[in-house]
Amino acid sequence: MTKGAVLILGGRSDIGLAIAHAFAAEGHPIWLAARGVETLAENRADLALRYGVEVSLVEFDALDTGGHGAFLDGLPALPEVAVCAVGLLGEQAQDEKTPAQAIRVMRTNFEGPAAILAELANRFEARGSGAIVGISSVAGERGRATNYIYGAAKAGFTAYLSGLRNRLARAGVQVLTVLPGFVATRMTAELDLPAKLTAQPDEVGRAVVRAVKTKRNVIYVKPIWQLVMAVIRAIPEPIFMRMKL
Amino acid sequence: MRIAGWGGTTRQDCRVTRPRSEAELAQRVAEGGLIARGAGRAYGDAAQSALNTVDMGGFNRMLAFDAETGQLVSEAGVRLADVIAAFLPRGWFPAVTPGTKHVTIGGMVAADVHGKNHHRDGSFGAFVDWIDLMGADGRVRRLTRLDNDEMFGWTLGGMGLTGVILRVAFRLRRVDSGWIRQKTIAAPNLTRAMEAFEANQAATYSVAWIDCLARGAATGRSIVMLGEHARAEELPAERRRAPFATPKRRRLTVPLDAPGFALNGLTVRAFNALYYRQGAKKAGDSLVDWDAYFYPLDAIHGWNRIYGRRGFVQFQCALPLATAESGLGELLAAISAAGQGSFLAVLKRFGPQQGRISFPMEGYTLALDFPLHAGTRALLEKLDRITVARGGRFYLAKDSRMTPHTLRKADKRMAEFAAMRDAQGLAEAFSSTQSERLAL
């Protein structure tokens, strides 16, 4: 029996690729969608050789929201699982002084992902099946001075996913929110991350596959993050506002 | 970032970067003093450079496979374990494998690793068709055996000192199953062990565990293990339906460094005596899965920590056929007299070896590890002297402490290698803590 295809939006990202590996290892065909997707030819060969699955590359620009419908119409079929791993961390210190850059961070982390998932949600709802996976962030749980532009966009995305889940629950469509915490990726290569709190991309990949199989709603990849964020959310604002985080 | 070789004796604070593209890598090369690091499985300081260590983990994709010839093209950072996971279920196995599967393909080229089939098939290099190498100018060149400048030969076994190995085309071999037919022979002394190797030159795989602490008439007693890939019809009926399915191994972990007293002359001597008796009892034929046969130590995650915080040093030499027996006898006598044995002493017959700077030579190789004690260095220097006097040479992937003088005396090719590096402008671009220590 052939397994359903998995569409990875943001197929160049380390987390997106790791999720692709984890689904391919289970025998799912993979469609990698990214800008300048032809440069992922090596990744396509690697996935196909390692797991013996079909891998396709599809050109996709998350910010070209007007083209999203045509993008989905151009796919060979509607995928079984759609993963949105599109994201841009930005440089908070510069972005807060440069509105155009801040807007780019907000559009990449919220507007683009929300727009493409809207199209997918409508089609999955009509079909009555499918899984939508959104890679959001613990940064969206409380705004901090050091990354609130990124965090605000992720907060929006988290709320959006929660709303989609509520709407699609009756349609038989799963919506999974992934809050990975720190992950050792290209995005965080310049940051000094604490090892105990940092997941490897392949851990995220396996956790996502497991969560899709078991129909979970929200996951933190490393359980410790649930506790960390509970504490961070519980700090009273008068204290939080003076903290350096 | 503090890194070390697998032996744990070469801890060093190094700047480690992880480029994601050839362009990024070329920038690192331009900075000079670069060494590429794969899985960090060389025992000593071969894959560390204080200012410019490059983690090749960003280049870990398999690129193409030709099912006619068995040729796999992969990036240098791909791990051998991943190759096996992908290809054994389709009936392919590495043509040459070292004693751990947690090595990278780039590392296998850099050390030109050998396996239990060296006597028949030669080293890994014999199955390499081409290598893409980034040179000192940041340009990538495809090296083959037919090149005029021998850079292909210098790169196989060149310890990453000819450039950054980026991609490798190498051949896998067809196998019928994931099982090995093993034949175990108990050899009561060194002469009998060597006779067993000589009498079984036709075997695909052969290796011996040797009791390096036995004395007198029992000196060099060994358990010789021969192996053949089992054909599907040689498997018991219940395994024939899924010949590549082998049992998942229980993975043990050494949770922390063992205290120094855990390993001393007495415990090692007792272990060795027991191991020999157990092996002798098991003499005969058995069916062993590929993982247990080729990679017994991989089942014990972090086995290197069994030697404690101070770590351990490896010694591996090759001796030519003509002097092998007397040379091995001297080496064993010195080890036994010092009372410093190892759990993991391995004896192996080498066959003829191609290549410009690869370690093996036709004859015998002996590999040992020693926890680092006060007397260890003196013993190792004695072993060095015996090896040099017998016309033998040393394996750089295991070395962490040799002197340039010893290396050059043992291996005339090393001076040529260093001269070539100077002439080609490679000496400034590529260097490791090891290459600086050994003046390569």
A-B interface: how many C-beta pairs under 8 angstroms? 26
Give the mean model confidence (pLDDT) for residues A140-145: 94
Rounded distance between C-alpha atoms, residue B381 and residue B402, angstroms: 8
pLDDT of residue A149: 97
Does the active-site annotation cover A150? yes
Using only C-alpha atoms, what is the Rg of chain A? Answer: 18
With an 8 Å Cβ cutoff, is A210 touching chain B?
Answer: no
Q: Is the pLDDT of residue A22 over 90?
A: yes
pLDDT, tens digit (0-9, with 9 covering 90-100), for B14-30? 999 999 999 999 999 99
Percent of chain A with pLDDT over 70: 100
For B131, left (φ over 0), alpha (ψ -120 to 50), or beta?
beta
Give the mean model confidence (pLDDT) for residues A110-120: 98
Residue B35 contacts residue B27 (beta carbons within 8 Å):
no
Rounded distance between C-alpha atoms, residue B363 and residue B360, angstroms: 8
pLDDT of residue A81: 98
Does residue A1 fall inside a structural domain?
Answer: no
User: Cβ separation of A45 and B18 shorter than 8 Å?
Assistant: no
User: Cβ separation of A50 and B85 shorter than 8 Å?
Assistant: yes
Q: What is the pTM of this model?
A: 0.92
User: Cβ separation of A50 and B75 shorter than 8 Å?
Assistant: no
Query: Exactly one of A51, A148, A150, A160 is catalytic; which is it?
Result: A150
Give the mean model confidence (pLDDT) for residues B341-352: 88
pLDDT, tens digit (0-9, with 9 covering 90-100), for B173-218? 999 999 999 999 999 999 999 999 999 999 999 999 998 888 889 9
Q: Is the pLDDT of residue B267 over 60?
A: yes
pLDDT, tens digit (0-9, with 9 covering 90-100), for B83-134? 999 999 999 999 999 999 999 999 999 999 999 999 999 999 999 999 999 9
Residue B369 contacts residue B375 (beta carbons within 8 Å):
no
- Enumerate residues 23 to 52 of chain A having a beta carbon within 8 A of any beta carbon in chain B: 42-43, 45-46, 49-52
Does residue A201 fall inside a structural domain?
Answer: yes
User: Cβ separation of A45 and B61 shorter than 8 Å?
Assistant: yes
- How many Cβ atoms from other residues are within 10 Å of residue B188's Cβ? 16
The tokens describing B168, both together, are: 């490798």
pLDDT of residue B15: 96
Q: Is the pLDDT of residue B276 over 70?
A: yes
Rounded distance between C-alpha atoms, residue B17 and residue B247, angstroms: 38
DSSP letters spanning A52-101? ---EEEEE--TT-GGGHHHHHHTSSS--SEEEE-------HHHHTT-HHH
Q: Is the pLDDT of residue B251 over 70?
A: no
- The CATH number for A113's domain is 3.40.50.720
* ipTM tops 0.90: no
Distant-in-sequence, close-in-space partners of A239: CB < 8 Å, separation ≥ 6: none
Q: What does pLDDT average to over chain B? A: 92
Chain B residues closer than 8 Å to A186 by CB: 20
Q: Rounded to an integer, what is the distance from CA A237 to the centroid of its chain?
A: 29
Residue B228, burial from CB neighbour count under 10 angstroms (0-12, 13-18, 19+): middle
- How many Cβ atoms from other residues are within 10 Å of residue B417's Cβ? 22
pLDDT, tens digit (0-9, with 9 covering 90-100), for B285-335? 999 999 999 998 887 767 777 677 778 889 999 999 999 999 999 999 999
Query: Which of B18, B20, B61, B166 is the best substitution to test chain A (most A C-beta atoms within 10 A)?
Result: B61
Nearest residue of chain B to residue A25 (CA atoms): B86
Across the beta sheet with A131-135, the strand order is A55-59, A30-34, A6-9, A81-84, A131-135, A174-179, A218-220
Chain B residues closer than 8 Å to A49 by CB: 62-65, 72, 86
Report the C-alpha dihedral over residues A16, A20, A21, A22, rounded to 10 degrees: 100
Residue B237, burial from CB neighbour count under 10 angstroms (0-12, 13-18, 19+): exposed
Percent of chain B with pLDDT over 70: 94
Rounded distance between C-alpha atoms, residue B311 and residue A118, angstroms: 57
Q: For chain A, what is the domain count? A: 1
User: Cβ separation of A186 and B61 shorter than 8 Å?
Assistant: no
Amino acid at B362: E
Does residue A245 fall inside a structural domain?
Answer: no
> Which pLDDT band, with edges at 50, 70 and 90, does B254 fall under?
low
Percent of chain A with pLDDT over 90: 91
> Which pLDDT band, with edges at 50, 70 and 90, does A56 fall under?
very high
For B179-401, CATH gives 3.40.462.10
Rounded distance between C-alpha atoms, residue B418 and residue B427, angstroms: 8
- Enumerate residues 145 to 204 of chain A having a beta carbon within 8 A of any beta carbon in chain B: 186, 189
Give the mean model confidence (pLDDT) for residues B351-358: 95
Q: Is the pLDDT of residue A114 over 60?
A: yes
Does residue A220 fall inside a structural domain?
Answer: yes
